[in-house]
């Protein structure tokens, strides 16, 4: 790689020596004011992987989003991730289940290790419990083309929990995709406030049928089944909430 | 050798006027087609529509033009895109004054021409590039003849049509005769901005591929081969997280394929008189597209490859990799029209022209072929592949593969499969070696085809039983090239990539990650071995020096400026490192190059 240094007038001599040295070391004999033969690229993108309206069999209808944006090079990237929901008609505001800022580094052809900080709580209101956490994540494509993300989160209070998401696209036509999807949450502690019990919390399995009008815009419909387990289920029962639910979703995937 | 003149915009009016004149001429004959695409062609008796002579002025602009009858903004050269035919004569001193009227730096690289580094036109390597408003004068002796082309070497400008053909007339009589000639320049045009295309490739794998396998293909294969075999084959691809339909990164879903700037519906027509011997100069000036070219009803005799004369090869079809050129002779006897049909390698589209005795005639278009699935050879390319998987694989469902060749992986003619022969399969060995070129004790004799080469195979999606296809094994120099030395040294370079992130590299390192150039010793005779570890084809181009393709042709070793390396293939070329200076060495797929499949070669 060619080193180019923009030199301030002061201290030019020292800097110039450094530049010359770098060029000699690199072995390119191109003068320093020439451009690099190949530009280095940073790119970015943003996607609402899910932006959907949920019609559960029990309880209220809900708006759900799952957003990810990244910017960076091939190996290292910065991520902004957000998942959340707004339960309709409960009088409360929208809730961030996760709002993460992460740094990701490619560690294998298909795998990226991520680390960062996150926030769970309110979107502009004061209706939901809050916490800050650190996150370590592994994101990538598993064999058999299964898009996978595994997050370990540890809160400021030392509570730890993991989230595993996996999805796979079955191509029915060049534009029509069937996507099975599963999400699993487990916790190390009982956290009444966040409706998390120690052990396996919940399993959510869904199936979505997506039509790509373009690569960027793809509406979908789907169905899901969700069940809570162990002490998480006990908490739900104590609150008079269902421990098992099914529902329909209608949404859109938007790639920017 | 070179002089660089910076002139104000006022001084470039002459170029502007010339550009206008060229455009005017084009408009008078064929609407907006370049002047050299005149239907009566170029010949010694009809020298028209080209820029030629000892002093040629070229003005580079971005302007509104119609492509396929839709207004868009290509980069033009003297008012047309692709640019004018530059016609030179072997032995002359060429002076080409290039004025940059863009608002960003530009350049012109004379692809395939042997010339001093300072006028090679690769910015950052051998010159600074041409700043906006500046005129750069390229001055060099023309020491060769044949069909070549020129294009921008700055950023992604080539995708905007910043390219054109070069024809160099021979000083002595060429070894074949013809009555009339036509340039057939193939390009791929997108109405998207090139930077958008690049971003789409980087952010969404398979963005342009609308020919992926679906459930329907699975069911069809199942009917043919049974569930077990189909499931086993598909599971293997899925396990590798790859698509067997990954044949072109950018496809007909965004590209309009052009012949001399004309879309298939516009049907650019070249004229002939029945019984004439026609020389067609095919140039693949595409950014990303390999084409399979045929003229149903006519045999084509290949007489030159990459501008260099070869022993005549009669063929029905040839694959032209990006940046290659082929000259063919045809002799249409009948008073009828013929279709020149150039299908993209992934079958997502085609370019088309017509040869006819009169304008307005048309021939039937051949039936289009379907996309093929990549088979074992691409699998073999994948370094992470483990052998037990391959042994357990059934090949019967690999459409488009020649089954007889597939019968066993231990066959030596499927050398790409034989891992024991592929010294380079071991990544850990290769990727750490930043200065490839450790010489080895026993070198193969000059001209010998490497184990692992597939010179007798046409490649993906072509059925050699259907018609006679040109393969690299067919290429034999018309007469031996002067340097007959054995190689003193061998240098092995791996073509590498990560499809998911759209990273492309040599030896696992992008250009931004390597330290310094690849070193050739001045005047050494070097064997360059290229090993393709990816599952895409790569057209590898070396500036400044010929690559003599070691295809087993003995003393008639052919020389090329661009060598296509198929997935899993191991090819080699002999190089006489006589061109002191720094040169570009890269994959000529534009977005692969831009993603990092690029090196500097320093000869000293």
Which two three-digit tokens encode residue B601?
């070669």
Of the candidates B1, B51, B45, the residue with the CA atom closest to the CA atom of residue B26: B51
Complex ipTM tops 0.95: no
Contact between A203 and A196 (Cβ < 8 Å): no
Instruction: Give, as one character, the DSSP assignment of residue B509.
Output: B
Rg of chain A, C-alpha, whole Å: 24
Is B439 in the same domain as B485? Answer: yes
Dump pLDDT digits (tens) for A127-160.
Answer: 999 999 999 999 999 999 999 999 999 999 999 9
My answer on whether B186 and B117 are in the same domain is: no
Cβ contacts of B593 on chain A, cutoff 8 Å: 38
Q: Which residues pair with A183 in a beta bridge?
A: A165, A204
Using the beta-carbon criterion (under 8 Å), do A141 and B500 form an inter-chain contact? yes
Task: In whole angstroms, give the CA distance from residue B137 to residue A34.
Answer: 17
Residue of A nearest to B106 (CA): A35
Confidence of residue A249 (pLDDT cuts 50, 70, 90): very high
Report pLDDT for B414. Answer: 37
- CA distances, A75 to each of A2, A104, A111, B167, B599 (Å): 19, 8, 10, 43, 20
The closest CB to that of A38, out of B501, B511, B519, belongs to B511
In chain A, residues with a C-beta closer than 8 Å to the C-beta of B502 are 74
Contact B528, B493 (CB under 8 A): yes
Q: Is there a single domain that holds both residue B407 and residue B318?
A: no
How confident is residue A26, by pLDDT bands cut at 50, 70 and 90? Answer: low
pLDDT at B265 > cutoff 90: yes
* pLDDT on residue B546: 98
Question: Per-residue pLDDT tens for A162-188?
Answer: 999 999 999 999 999 999 999 999 999
Round to whole Å and give the CA distance between B229 and A156. Answer: 53
Span A45-255 CATH architecture: Beta Barrel (2.40)
Question: Which chain B residue has its CA at the smallest distance from A35's CA?
Answer: B124
Contacts of B114 (CB under 8 A, 6+ apart): B143, B144, B544, B545, B546, B579
Mean pLDDT computed over every residue of chain A: 89
Yes or no, beta carbons of A45 and B211 under 8 Å apart:
no
In this structure, the answer to whether residues B444 and B551 fall within a common structural domain is yes
Of B125, B202, B600, the CB nearest to A43: B202
- Whether residue B201 is found in the same domain as residue B328: yes
Same domain? For B137 and B224 the reply is no
Top-confidence residue, A8 or A234:
A234
Among B64, B91, B92, smallest CA distance to B76 is for B64
Give dist(CA B352, CA B348) in Å, integer: 14
Instruction: Give the span between the Cα atoms of B226 and A56, in whole angstroms.
Output: 41
Nearest CA in chain A to B592: A38
pLDDT > 80? residue B435: no
Q: Point out the domain boundary residue: B174, B191, B220.
A: B174
CA distance A217 to chain B (A): 12
Do residue A1 and residue B213 have CB atoms under 8 angstroms apart? no
User: Could you give the CA distance from residue A27 to residue B518 in angstroms, rounded to a whole number?
Assistant: 9
Q: Quick one: which of B464, B380, B375 has its CA closest to B415?
A: B380
Distance, CA of B57 to CA of B78 (rounded, Å)? 8
Both B303 and B328 in one domain: the answer is: yes
CA atoms within 13 A on the CB side of B125: 32
Structural domain including B553 reads: 428-603
pLDDT at B51: 85
Whether A173 contacts B213, CB under 8 Å: no
Inspect the interface and report whether the beta carbons of A31 and B600 lie closer than 8 Å.
Answer: no
Interchain CB distance below 8 Å, A143 and B517: no
Contact A106 B128 (CB under 8 A): no
CA distance B156 to chain A (A): 10
Nearest CA in chain B to A33: B128
Please indicate, yes or no, whether residues B410 and B545 belong to a single structural domain of this protein. Answer: no
Q: Please indicate whether, in this complex, the C-beta atoms of A29 and B582 are within 8 angstroms of each other.
A: yes
Are B530 and B493 a contacting pair, CB within 8 Å? yes
**What angle, rounded to 10 degrees, do the helices at B215-225 and B227-240 form?**
140
The string of pLDDT tens digits covering residues B83-134 is 999 999 999 999 999 999 999 999 999 999 999 999 999 999 989 999 999 9
Interface test with B, best of A32, A72, A74 (most B CBs within 10 A): A74
User: Two tokens at A233?
Assistant: 């289920």
Locate the chain A residue with the closest alpha carbon to B207. Answer: A215
pLDDT attached to residue B378: 67
Give which of B473, B471, B509, B516 is closest to B493, Cα–Cα.
B509
Instruction: Identify the closest residue of chain A to B121 by CA–CA distance.
Output: A37
Q: Give the best residue of A38, A75, A141, A169 to mutate against chain B (max B CB count within 10 A).
A: A38
Cα gap B163→B156, rounded to integer Å: 12
Query: Which chain A positions have a beta carbon within 8 Å of B584's beta carbon?
Result: 37
CB distance B601 to B542 below 8 Å? yes
- CA-based nearest residue to B571, from B595, B603, B542: B542
**Are B512 and A38 a contacting pair at CB < 8 A?**
yes
**Average of per-residue pLDDT across B319-339:** 97
Quick check: B214 and A43 CB within 8 A? Answer: no
Q: Cβ separation of A28 and B122 shorter than 8 Å?
A: no
Q: What digits encode the pLDDT tens for the residues A30-78?
A: 888 898 888 888 999 999 999 999 999 998 999 999 999 999 999 999 9
What rounded mean pLDDT belongs to chain B? 85
- Using CA atoms, how far apart are residues B117 and A17, in angstroms rounded to an integer? 27
> Residue A30: its chain B contacts at CB < 8 A?
124-125, 582
Is-contact B88 B95, C-beta < 8 A? Answer: no
Per-residue pLDDT at B193 exceeds 70? yes
C-alpha–C-alpha distance, residues B158 and A53, integer Å: 45
Mean pLDDT to the nearest integer, A10-26: 41
**Averaged over B167-174, what is the pLDDT?**
93
Domain count of the fold of chain B: 4
Question: Are the beta carbons of A28 and B213 separated by less than 8 Å?
Answer: no
At residue B39, the pLDDT reads 63
Res. B410 pLDDT band, cuts 50 70 90: very low
| B129, B512, B598: residue with CB nearest A35 | B129
pLDDT at B34 over 90: no
Q: Which helix (H) or strand (E) holds A239?
A: none
Contact call for residues A135 and A120 (beta carbons, < 8 A): no
Residue A227: predicted pLDDT:
97
Is this structure's pTM higher than 0.90? no
- The minimal CB distance from B214 to the residues A37, A143, A174 is found for A174
CA distance B195 to chain A (A): 10
* Nearest residue in chain B measured CA to CA from A25: B516
Residues B406 and B350 placed together within one structural domain of the fold? no
Q: Is A74 left (phi over 0), alpha (psi -120 to 50) or beta?
A: alpha
Alpha-carbon distance of B519 to A252, in angstroms, equals: 53
What contacts B251, CB < 8 A, 6 or more positions away?
A: B208, B209, B210, B211, B344, B346, B348, B349
pLDDT-derived band at B428 (thresholds 50, 70, 90) equals very low
Compute the average pLDDT of residues B401-429.
36
Our CA dihedral for B304, B178, B345, B323, rounded to 10 degrees, sits at 50
Instruction: Report whether pLDDT(B426) > 50.
Output: no
Give the gap in angstroms from C-alpha A239 to the nearest C-alpha of chain B.
Answer: 43
pLDDT in tens, B208-250: 999 999 999 999 999 999 999 999 988 999 998 999 999 999 9
The residue assigned the tokens 């993209």 is B344
If asked whether residues B266 and B161 sit together in one domain, one would say no
B261 phi-psi bin (left φ>0, alpha ψ -120 to 50, beta other): left
Residue B42 DSSP one-character state? B
Per-residue pLDDT at A28: 81
Q: Are residues B203 and B263 in the same domain?
A: yes
Q: Residue B26's domain is classified under what CATH number?
A: 2.60.40.420
In A, what residues contact B, Cβ < 8 A? 1-2, 25-31, 33-41, 43-45, 74, 106, 109-110, 141, 143-145, 170-175, 215, 255
User: Tens digit of pLDDT for each residue in B342-363?
Assistant: 999 999 999 999 999 998 999 9
pLDDT tens digit sequence for B360-398: 999 999 999 999 999 866 665 544 333 333 333 333 333
Cα–Cα dist B318/B326, whole Å: 9
Q: What is the pLDDT of residue B377?
A: 65
pLDDT of residue B362: 94
């Amino acid at each position: 790689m060619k080193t180019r240094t923009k030199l301030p007038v002061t201290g030019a001599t020292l800097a110039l020596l450094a530049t010359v040295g770098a060029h000699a070391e690199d072995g390119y004999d191109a003068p320093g004011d020439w451009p690099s033969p190949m530009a280095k690229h940073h790119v970015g993108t943003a996607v609402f992987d899910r932006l959907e309206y949920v019609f559960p069999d029990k309880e209220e209808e809900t708006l759900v989003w799952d957003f990810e944006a990244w910017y960076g090079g091939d190996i290292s990237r910065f991520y902004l991730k957000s998942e959340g929901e707004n339960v309709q008609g409960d009088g409360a505001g929208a809730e961030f289940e996760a709002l993460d800022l992460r740094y990701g580094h490619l560690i294998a052809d298909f795998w990226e290790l991520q680390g960062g900080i996150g926030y769970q709580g309110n979107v502009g209101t004061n209706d939901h419990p809050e916490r800050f956490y650190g996150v370590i994540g592994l994101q990538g494509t598993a064999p058999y083309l299964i898009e996978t993300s595994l997050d370990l989160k540890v809160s400021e209070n030392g509570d730890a929990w993991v989230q595993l998401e996996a999805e796979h696209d079955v191509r029915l036509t060049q534009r029509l995709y069937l996507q099975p999807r599963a999400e699993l949450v487990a916790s190390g502690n009982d956290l009444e406030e966040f409706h998390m019990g120690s052990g396996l919390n919940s399993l959510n399995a869904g199936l979505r049928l997506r039509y790509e009008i373009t690569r960027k815009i793809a509406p979908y419909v789907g169905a899901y089944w969700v069940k809570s387990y162990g002490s998480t289920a006990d908490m739900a029962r104590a609150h008079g909430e269902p421990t098992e639910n099914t529902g329909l979703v209608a949404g859109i995937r938007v790639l920017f | 050798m070179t002089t660089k003149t910076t002139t104000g915009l006022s001084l470039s009016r002459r170029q502007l006027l010339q550009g206008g004149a060229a455009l005017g001429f084009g408009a008078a004959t064929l609407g907006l087609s370049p002047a050299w695409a005149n239907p009566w062609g170029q010949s010694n008796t009809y020298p028209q529509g080209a820029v030629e002579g000892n002093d040629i002025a070229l003005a580079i602009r971005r302007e509104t033009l119609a492509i396929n009858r839709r207004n868009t903004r290509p980069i033009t050269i003297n008012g047309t895109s692709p640019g004018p035919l530059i016609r030179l004569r072997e032995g002359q001193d060429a002076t080409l004054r290039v004025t940059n009227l863009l608002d960003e730096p530009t350049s012109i690289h004379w692809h395939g021409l042997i010339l001093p580094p300072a006028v090679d036109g690769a910015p950052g390597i051998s010159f600074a590039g041409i700043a906006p408003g500046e005129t750069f004068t390229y001055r060099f002796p023309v020491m060769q003849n044949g069909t070549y082309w020129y294009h921008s070497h700055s950023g992604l400008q080539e995708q905007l049509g910043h390219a054109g053909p070069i024809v160099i007339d021979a000083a002595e009589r060429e070894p074949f005769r013809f009555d009339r000639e036509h340039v057939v320049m193939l390009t791929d045009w997108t109405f998207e901005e090139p930077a958008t295309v690049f971003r789409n490739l980087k952010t969404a794998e398979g963005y342009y591929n609308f020919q992926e396998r679906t459930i329907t293909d699975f069911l069809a294969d199942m009917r043919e081969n049974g569930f077990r075999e189909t499931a086993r084959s598909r599971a293997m691809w899925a396990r590798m997280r790859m698509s067997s339909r990954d044949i072109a990164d950018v496809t007909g879903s965004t590209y309009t394929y052009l012949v001399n700037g004309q879309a298939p519906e516009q049907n650019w027509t070249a004229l002939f008189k029945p019984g004439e011997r026609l020389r067609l100069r095919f140039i693949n000036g595409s950014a990303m597209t390999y084409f399979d070219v045929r003229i149903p009803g006519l045999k084509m005799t290949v007489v030159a490859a990459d501008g260099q004369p070869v022993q005549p090869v009669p063929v029905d079809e040839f694959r032209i990799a990006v940046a290659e050129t082929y000259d063919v002779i045809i002799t249409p006897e009948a008073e009828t029209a013929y279709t020149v049909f150039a299908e993209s390698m992934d079958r997502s589209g085609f370019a088309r022209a017509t040869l006819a005795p009169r304008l307005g005639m048309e021939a039937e278009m051949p039936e289009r072929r379907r996309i093929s699935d990549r088979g074992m050879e691409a699998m073999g390319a994948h370094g992470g592949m483990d052998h037990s998987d391959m042994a357990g694989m059934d090949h019967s469902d690999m459409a488009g593969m020649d089954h007889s060749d597939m019968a066993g992986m231990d066959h030596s003619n499927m050398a790409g499969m034989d891992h024991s022969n592929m010294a380079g399969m071991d990544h850990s060995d290769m990727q750490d070696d930043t200065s490839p070129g450790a010489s080895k004790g026993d070198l193969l004799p000059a001209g010998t085809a490497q184990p692992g080469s597939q010179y007798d195979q046409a490649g993906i999606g072509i059925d050699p039983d259907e018609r006679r296809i040109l393969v690299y094994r067919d290429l034999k120099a018309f007469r031996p090239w002067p340097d007959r030395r054995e190689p003193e040294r061998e240098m092995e370079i791996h073509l590498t990539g990560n499809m998911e992130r759209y990273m492309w590299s040599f030896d696992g390192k992008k250009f931004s990650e390597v330290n310094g150039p690849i070193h050739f010793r001045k005047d050494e005779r070097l064997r360059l071995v290229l090993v393709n570890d990816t599952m895409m084809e790569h057209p590898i181009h070396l500036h400044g020096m010929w690559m003599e393709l070691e295809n087993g042709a003995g003393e008639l070793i052919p020389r090329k400026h661009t060598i296509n390396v198929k997935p899993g293939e191991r090819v080699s070329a002999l190089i006489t490192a006589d061109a002191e200076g720094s040169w570009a060495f890269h994959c000529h797929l534009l977005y692969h190059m831009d993603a990092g499949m690029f090196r500097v070669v320093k000869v000293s």
